[in-house]
C-alpha cells in the first residue's frame, strides 16, 4: 500500500491505496508525472456564484474524477512499490495526474509499468525552470523622490484611489501568491497576510505552504529564498504601494533560489484551490484564493503543462493573472501567459510607454488556441516594493505589473462580489487606457488598467442587469458571457 502524510482522496476511492504528498527536498530528477486523461465535468460548477461553495463543488468534482480514473495506474505500480523501486506516489487533482517518486535507475521500470494502462495518456520527468530574478535597485538615479511612508507611482498611474474611496479596495478578497515565499515580518506586509492575528501569533495553517523546503513559517530563512515573492505580494497589499490594500494574501513557496519545477508549480496552484494545514493535511477549498498571481513563466509560450491547472482554477471561480515575461521588445509572450482565456500583464514604464523589456504578442500557440497579446499593461518600472528585512527598493519587471492587476481584480470583486469572470474582464477592458494606437494590440493588449474607471463600469454593468432582471423576471446573463 502506498502511504504518506497527506490524503487527497479517501483510500477506498482509489482502489484501497492511500496516496500523499511527496516529501519536500526530493530531487526533481527522482520524480515522474503520469498524466491521466479524465477531466471533471465542471459545467454545473461554472454556473454557481463565485466563492467558497463553488470552490468546494469544484474540488469535489476533481476528487471524483481522480477516484474514477487513477486506480488502474496505481494498480500497475503496486509491484514496483512492493519491491521498493517506487518509494511514494502522490495523487494530484490539478492536473489529474500521479506523481511517482523513484530513483533514476528505476524510472524506466515505472514507464514500462504505466505503458498502455487505462487512462494514462503519457509520462514525463519533472523539469526545472527559473523564476525571474528579484530585479531591484535600492536607490536608482532616475527614481521618484523618496517618501515616508513609502509610496509608488503605480497607485496613481492605475487611478486606484477613487476606487478605494468608494469602498472597492479588495476588502474581503484573498489573493494567492505562488512564488519564492513571503516575509510576513515586513511592516508593509504583516497587515496584509491573512494569517496575521491581532495580539496573537500568526496562524499559518491554510495561509502558508512550502513545497520546496517544508518550512512551517513564512519568514526568511529559508521560506523566502530570493525576495521575489515578497516584492510581488507588496504590489497587492502594501499601503500606498499595492493596488488592493484591503485584500489579504496567502502564499505558497514553489521555488528555491529562483529554481522551480513542474511538480512544485502543480502543488502550489492546487493548494490555491484548497489550502491545507502547514503539515499538508485537511485541504479546505472554503479557504481558497479568489485571485491567484503567477509572476513567472517557462519562456516557451508553447508549453501547455499548466493549462489544465489554470482551467480548473477558473472553473472554480478563481481569477488567474500571469506576468507576460521580460523577453521584449522582440520576445514572444511566455507560458503560461500565452494561455487562452486568462489575464496576462505586460509592463508600463515611467515614460508612458510599454517597457522595452516587456514581452509582446502574438501568442505562439496554434491559431485559434492562443491569445494575441498581453491582456493589459500595468506599471513595471521603478515601482516601490517591499524587500526582505523590512526595507523597500525599486523593482522592475512584468513580475511587478501582474500583481498590480491581480489587485485590480480584488478591488472589482470587493465592489461587486457576484460579478462573473466575463463581467470583470469586460469592465477592465472597456476602461483601459490606450498606450499606443487605439484598440487592442500585441504590445499592450487593451492598454493601461484604470481601476477607478473599471470599478465604476462594473457597477454600471451589474446595475443594468439588476434593472433588467426586475423588468424581465429573468436571471442576469452577463455583459459578455463567461463565468
pLDDT, one tens digit per residue, over 402-418 is 999 999 999 999 999 99
Give the pLDDT confidence score for residue 1 in this predicted structure. 32
Give the pLDDT confidence score for residue 371 in this predicted structure. 60
List, for residues 53-82, the tens digit of each pLDDT value.
999 999 999 999 999 999 999 999 999 999
Give the pLDDT confidence score for residue 145 in this predicted structure. 60
List, for residues 153-194, the tens digit of each pLDDT value.
999 999 999 999 999 999 999 999 999 999 999 999 999 999
**SS3 per residue for 70-137:** CHHHHHHHHHHHHHCCEEEEEEECCCCEEEEEECHHHHHHHHHHHCCCCCEEEEEECCEEECCCCCEE
With a cut of 80, say whether residue 468 has pLDDT above it.
Answer: no
Give the pLDDT confidence score for residue 20 in this predicted structure. 64
Place of cell 508600463: 348
Q: Is residue 261 within 8 Å of residue 28, measured between CB atoms?
A: yes
Q: How confident is the model at residue 137 (pLDDT cuts 50, 70, 90)?
A: low
Place of cell 523577453: 327
With a cut of 90, say whether residue 433 has pLDDT above it.
Answer: yes
Give the pLDDT confidence score for residue 300 in this predicted structure. 82
Catalytic center residues: 179, 228, 399
With a cut of 50, say whether residue 9 has pLDDT above it.
Answer: no
Please give the mean pLDDT across all residues of the chain.
88
With a cut of 90, say whether residue 444 has pLDDT above it.
Answer: yes
User: CA–CA separation, 406 vs 234, rounded Å?
Assistant: 12
Percent of the chain with pLDDT strictly greater than 90: 72
Q: Is residue 231 within 8 Å of residue 136, measured between CB atoms?
A: yes
Higher pLDDT, 223 or 111: 111
Record the cell numbers describing residue 26, joined without a space.
526530493
Give the pLDDT confidence score for residue 298 in this predicted structure. 83
Q: Is residue 252 within 8 Å of residue 215, measured between CB atoms?
A: no
With a cut of 80, say whether residue 473 has pLDDT above it.
Answer: no
User: CA–CA separation, 449 vs 243, rounded Å?
Assistant: 11
Phi and psi, residue 83, nearest 5° = -85, -10
> What are the E-state strand segments in 291-405?
291-294, 319-323, 343-348, 376-379, 383-387, 391-395
With a cut of 60, say whether residue 139 has pLDDT above it.
Answer: no
Expressed in percent and rounded to 5, the helix, strand and coil fractions of the chain are 30, 20, 50
417: how many CB neighbours lie within 10 A of its CB?
A: 13
Nearest CA to 157 among 393, 417, 355? 355
User: CA–CA separation, 423 vs 445, rounded Å?
Assistant: 17
With a cut of 70, say whether residue 427 has pLDDT above it.
Answer: yes
Give the pLDDT confidence score for residue 15 in this predicted structure. 43
Give the pLDDT confidence score for residue 418 in this predicted structure. 95
Give the pLDDT confidence score for residue 256 in this predicted structure. 85
Does domain 136-463 bear CATH number 3.40.50.200? yes
Q: How confident is the model at residue 432 (pLDDT cuts 50, 70, 90)?
A: very high
pTM as predicted:
0.91
Place of cell 472597492: 168
With a cut of 60, say whether residue 7 has pLDDT above it.
Answer: no
H or E stretch covering 251: strand 248-253
Rg (CA), the chain: 22
Angle ∠(243,456,193) on CA atoms, nearest 5 = 25
DSSP 5: S
Give the pLDDT confidence score for residue 63 in this predicted structure. 97
Mean pLDDT of 340-359: 95
Place of cell 505589473: 401
Percent of the chain with pLDDT strictly greater than 70: 86
With a cut of 90, say whether residue 322 has pLDDT above it.
Answer: yes
13: how many CB neighbours lie within 10 A of its CB?
A: 18
Mean pLDDT of 278-283: 94
**Those residues with Cβ within 8 angstroms of residue 187's Cβ, 6 or more apart along the chain or in another chain:** 390
With a cut of 80, say whether residue 390 has pLDDT above it.
Answer: yes
With a cut of 90, say whether residue 152 has pLDDT above it.
Answer: yes
Q: Which of the residue ranges 118-127, 208-217, 236-245, 397-406 would you say has the lowest mean pLDDT?
A: 208-217
User: CA–CA separation, 312 vs 270, rounded Å?
Assistant: 9
Q: Is residue 292 within 8 Å of residue 178, measured between CB atoms?
A: yes
Starting at the edge strand found earlier in the chain, the sheet holding 383-387 runs: 136-137, 391-395, 383-387
Mean pLDDT of 18-28: 72
Give the pLDDT confidence score for residue 299 in this predicted structure. 75
With a cut of 90, say whether residue 133 has pLDDT above it.
Answer: no
With a cut of 80, say whether residue 23 has pLDDT above it.
Answer: no
Q: How confident is the model at residue 135 (pLDDT cuts 50, 70, 90)?
A: low
104: how many CB neighbours lie within 10 A of its CB?
A: 11
User: CA–CA separation, 36 vs 117, rounded Å?
Assistant: 10
Amino acid at each position: 500500500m502506498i502511504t504518506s502524510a497527506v490524503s487527497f482522496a479517501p483510500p477506498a476511492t482509489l482502489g484501497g491505496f492511500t496516496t500523499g504528498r511527496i516529501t519536500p527536498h526530493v530531487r526533481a530528477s527522482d520524480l515522474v508525472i503520469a498524466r491521466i486523461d479524465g477531466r471533471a465535468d465542471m459545467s454545473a460548477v461554472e454556473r454557481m456564484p463565485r466563492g467558497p461553495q463553488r470552490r468546494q463543488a469544484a474540488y469535489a468534482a476533481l476528487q471524483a474524477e481522480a477516484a474514477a480514473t487513477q486506480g488502474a495506474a496505481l494498480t500497475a505500480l503496486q509491484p514496483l512499490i512492493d519491491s521498493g523501486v517506487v518509494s511514494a506516489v502522490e495523487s494530484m487533482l490539478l492536473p489529474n495526474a500521479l506523481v511517482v517518486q523513484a530513483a533514476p535507475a528505476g524510472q524506466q521500470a515505472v514507464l514500462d509499468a504505466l505503458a498502455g494502462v487505462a487512462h494514462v495518456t503519457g509520462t514525463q520527468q519533472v523539469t526545472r525552470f527559473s523564476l525571474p530574478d528579484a530585479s531591484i535597485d535600492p536607490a536608482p538615479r532616475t527614481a521618484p523622490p523618496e517618501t515616508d511612508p513609502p509610496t509608488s507611482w503605480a497607485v496613481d498611474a492605475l487611478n486606484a484611489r477613487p476606487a478605494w474611496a468608494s469602498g472597492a479596495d479588495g476588502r474581503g478578497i484573498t489573493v494567492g501568491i505562488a512564488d519564492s515565499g513571503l516575509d510576513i515580518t515586513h511592516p508593509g506586509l504583516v497587515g496584509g497576510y491573512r494569517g496575521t492575528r491581532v495580539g496573537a501569533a500568526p496562524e499559518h495553517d491554510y495561509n502558508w505552504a512550502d513545497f520546496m523546503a517544508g518550512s512551517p513559517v513564512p519568514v526568511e530563512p529559508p521560506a523566502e529564498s530570493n525576495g521575489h515573492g515578497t516584492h510581488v505580494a507588496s504590489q497587492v497589499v502594501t499601503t500606498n504601494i499595492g493596488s488592493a490594500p484591503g485584500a489579504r494574501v496567502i502564499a505558497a513557496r514553489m521555488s528555491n533560489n529562483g529554481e522551480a519545477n513542474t511538480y512544485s508549480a502543480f502543488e502550489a496552484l492546487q493548494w490555491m484551490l484548497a489550502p491545507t494545514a502547514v503539515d499538508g493535511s485537511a485541504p479546505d477549498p472554503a479557504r481558497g484564493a479568489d485571485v491567484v498571481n503567477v509572476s513567472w513563466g517557462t519562456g516557451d509560450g508553447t508549453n501547455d503543462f499548466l493549462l489544465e491547472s489554470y482551467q480548473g482554477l477558473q472553473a472554480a471561480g478563481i481569477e488567474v493573472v500571469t506576468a507576460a515575461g521580460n523577453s521584449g521588445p522582440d520576445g514572444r509572450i511566455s507560458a503560461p501567459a500565452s494561455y487562452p482565456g486568462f489575464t496576462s500583464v505586460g509592463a508600463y514604464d515611467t515614460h508612458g510607454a510599454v517597457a522595452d523589456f516587456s514581452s509582446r504578442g502574438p501568442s505562439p500557440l496554434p491559431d485559434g488556441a492562443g491569445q494575441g497579446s498581453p491582456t493589459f499593461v500595468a506599471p513595471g518600472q521603478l515601482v516601490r516594493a517591499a524587500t526582505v528585512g523590512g526595507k523597500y527598493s525599486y523593482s522592475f519587471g512584468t513580475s511587478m505589473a501582474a500583481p498590480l492587476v491581480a489587485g485590480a481584480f480584488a478591488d472589482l470583486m470587493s465592489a461587486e462580489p457576484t460579478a462573473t469572470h466575463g463581467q470583470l474582464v469586460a469592465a477592465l477592458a472597456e476602461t483601459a487606457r490606450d498606450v499606443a494606437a487605439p484598440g487592442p494590440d500585441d504590445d499592450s493588449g487593451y492598454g493601461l488598467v484604470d481601476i477607478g474607471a473599471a470599478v465604476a463600469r462594473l457597477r454600471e454593468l451589474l446595475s443594468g442587469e439588476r434593472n433588467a432582471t426586475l423588468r424581465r423576471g429573468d436571471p442576469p446573463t452577463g455583459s459578455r458571457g463567461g463565468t
